[in-house]
């Protein structure tokens, strides 16, 4: 089953779609996290050590758990994007899109001619021919989400025009890289600086009424969720697989040490 609708249906209904990130090579962890009830899993092929085979295994785990499998590719490269889509990805996140022209390139990579340059070879994307291949080809925008990641201040001025592009399903903000793009030799910015927050507000103003998906990726906190929902996002990707393992391990240690201290035992 195609699962892009797990995001788009919620957004259409005025709800917020929730997802989480994975970067380890284990599809079992992905299956567990997705099975907790997330609408989608962001499979990170940019900052992790996973390879193509790992990505395919993650996509299989997502489908098994009933979550949309969204892959952030390493770069705006049609060769990489083609292979990942043929594995059956429900969507592609293209990192560091900095201009209208780069957004056009991303859209072309995810669409078949005459609307793009994607080569024909969907295979797992159509369940090895069990599903209707022509339906998949004719309805690419229904089954495949093309998401550009806003990670650089240079792209802000082009957002209204990018939002009009056919073939672009939506946007996702990468707050950390975005604020770093504002750095100068004299000044280092953080996501909480007023100048950065002003830019985030501008992004929200440009996209919240665009009719496209508008999301954010980051670490979960009450302020993070509140700030971005206020800016108009309709989907949020939060935390990584390693966050859950580290926080769980730290929780066990903290609980155990508290009990031992109360009992006067050394550790």
Overall average pLDDT of the 211-222 stretch? 98
Overall average pLDDT of the 230-254 stretch? 98
135-150 tens-digit pLDDT: 999 999 999 999 999 9
Determine which helix (DSSP H) or strand (DSSP E) holds 204, and give its type and residue range: helix 194-207
Query: Is 47 noted as a catalytic residue in this protein?
Result: yes
Overall average pLDDT of the 71-91 stretch? 98
Euclidean distance between CA atoms 5 and 137, whole angstroms: 17
DSSP state of 130: T
Q: Computed from CA positions of residues 51, 219, 143, 231, in that sequence, does the dihedral angle turn out positive or negative? A: negative
183-195 tens-digit pLDDT: 999 999 999 999 9
What is the separation, in whole angstroms, between the first and last Cα of the chain? 51
**Residue 83 pLDDT exceeds 90:** yes
CA atoms within 13 A on the CB side of 250: 6
User: Which distant-in-sequence residues (6+ apart) come within 8 Å of 105 by Cβ?
Assistant: 76, 78
- State residue 5's pLDDT score: 98
Confidence of residue 123 (pLDDT cuts 50, 70, 90): very high
Overall average pLDDT of the 85-109 stretch? 98
Confidence of residue 239 (pLDDT cuts 50, 70, 90): very high
**Residue 171 pLDDT exceeds 90:** yes
Overall average pLDDT of the 207-223 stretch? 97
**Residue 111 pLDDT exceeds 90:** yes
Bridge partners of residue 92, in order along the sequence: 71, 146
**Residue 1 pLDDT exceeds 90:** no
Which of the following is catalytic: 47, 58, 111, 152? 47
- State residue 98's pLDDT score: 98
Euclidean distance between CA atoms 33 and 100, whole angstroms: 35
Q: Computed from CA positions of residues 64, 70, 72, 77, in that sequence, does the dihedral angle turn out positive or negative? A: positive
Q: What Cα–Cα distance (Å) separates residue 130 from each residue in 2, 3, 137?
A: 13, 16, 14
- State residue 206's pLDDT score: 97
Domains in the chain, CATH or no CATH each: 5-241 (3.20.20.60)
């Amino acid at each position: 089953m195609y699962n892009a609708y797990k995001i788009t249906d919620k957004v259409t209904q005025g709800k917020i779609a929730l997802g989480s990130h994975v970067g380890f090579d284990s599809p079992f962890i992905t299956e567990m996290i997705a099975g907790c009830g997330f609408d989608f899993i962001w499979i990170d092929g940019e900052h992790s050590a996973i390879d193509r085979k790992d990505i395919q295994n993650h996509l299989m785990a997502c489908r098994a758990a009933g979550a949309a499998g969204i892959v952030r590719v390493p770069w705006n490269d049609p060769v990489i994007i083609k292979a990942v889509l043929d594995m059956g990805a429900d969507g592609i996140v293209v990192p560091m899109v900095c201009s209208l022209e780069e957004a056009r390139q991303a859209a072309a990579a995810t669409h078949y001619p005459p609307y793009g340059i994607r080569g024909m070879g969907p295979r797992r994307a159509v369940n090895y021919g069990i599903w209707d291949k022509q339906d998949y080809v004719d309805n690419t925008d229904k089954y495949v989400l093309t998401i550009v990641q806003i990670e650089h201040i240079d792209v802000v001025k082009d957002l209204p025009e990018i939002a009009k592009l056919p073939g672009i399903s939506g946007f996702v903000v990468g707050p950390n890289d975005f604020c770093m793009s504002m750095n100068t030799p004299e000044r280092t910015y953080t996501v909480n600086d007023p100048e950065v927050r002003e830019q985030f507000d501008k992004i929200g103003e440009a996209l919240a009424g665009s009719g496209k998906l508008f999301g954010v990726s980051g670490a979960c906190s009450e302020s993070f969720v509140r700030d971005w929902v206020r800016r108009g996002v309709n989907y949020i990707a939060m935390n990584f697989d390693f966050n859950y393992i580290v926080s769980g391990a730290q929780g066990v240690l903290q609980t155990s040490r508290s009990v031992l201290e109360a009992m006067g035992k050394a550790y």
